[in-house]
Amino acid sequence: MKMQRKKERSIKINTTALPDIIFMLLFFFMVTTVMQTKTISELSLPQAYGITQQGDSNPDELNIYIYTSDGAQLITINDQKKSIEQSNLLITGIVNQLRNKGMHIQKANLFIDSGIVMSSVNQVKETLQELDIYKVKLIHEYGIM
């Protein structure tokens, strides 16, 4: 004998009172919340110690100027001028000299003139990478590139 199954009824939850409950909770939190209005009369900034005037340069940054003068491409670092073909020797010498003094160069700023070809800039960047200087900022004469 085959028994008939009872049909499953779907259970419905009555949600008609839900918006009322939400608005009552919202109203409760709005009424009980205290808004603080403190005015800061004086702002005390922390004091810095051990700062010396270094000018615009940071001791762990290397400023390299690449520009054209009378049709020749030149590179200048620490008031030493060389042609762009000798940039590898100049950069390596100055970085090693600074490292021997105990300064660890981590960043380089390349100030580039508008007449410089990109292959010269790439040559300087490759030399910096060989010296483990990977943070290089290219600064065009009109702003950061």
d(CA 30, CA 136): 53
* Alpha helix positions (H), the chain: 18-32, 87-100, 118-130
pLDDT confidence bin for 48, thresholds 50/70/90: low
d(CA 120, CA 112): 10
- Read off the tokens for 115: 């007449």
**Tell me, what CATH number does 130's domain have?**
3.30.420.40
Report pLDDT for 58. Answer: 59
This prediction has a pTM of 0.56
**Domains of the chain: total:** 1
Domain with 122, as residue range(s), is 61-144
Report if residue 12 sits inside a domain: no
